[in-house]
Amino acid sequence: MIEHNLVRATVTPQIVTILSHYYKTDADEVLRRFYESKTAENYADEETGLYAQSALYVAGMFIMEQDGRIDESRF
């Protein structure tokens, strides 16, 4: 079984890439904003099971947390 930390370490760069493209900003800024979010807090919490979701799903949760909706034209 793959450790959850390894899964998160593998998927987090994908999340950052998606969010950098969506917000048209650099990865450092996106990573900072992501780690300060409730989404990241839930992503790190083993009890939520969020670590098992795709990068796109987690990125979508972050966008919803930040903006309240997803602007599909940004993809």
Give the CA-trace dihedral at 41, 45, 48, 53, to 10 degrees: 80
> At residue 3, what is the residue type?
E
- List the pLDDT tens digit at each of the 75 positions of the chain: 568 888 898 999 999 999 999 999 999 999 999 999 999 999 999 899 899 999 999 999 999 999 999 999 887
CA distance 56 to 66: 15
CA distance 1 to 3: 6
- Domains of the chain, by residue range, sit at 4-74
CA distance 69 to 2: 33
CA 75: distance to chain centroid?
A: 15
Task: Using a cut of 0.75, tell me whether the model's pTM lies above it.
Answer: yes
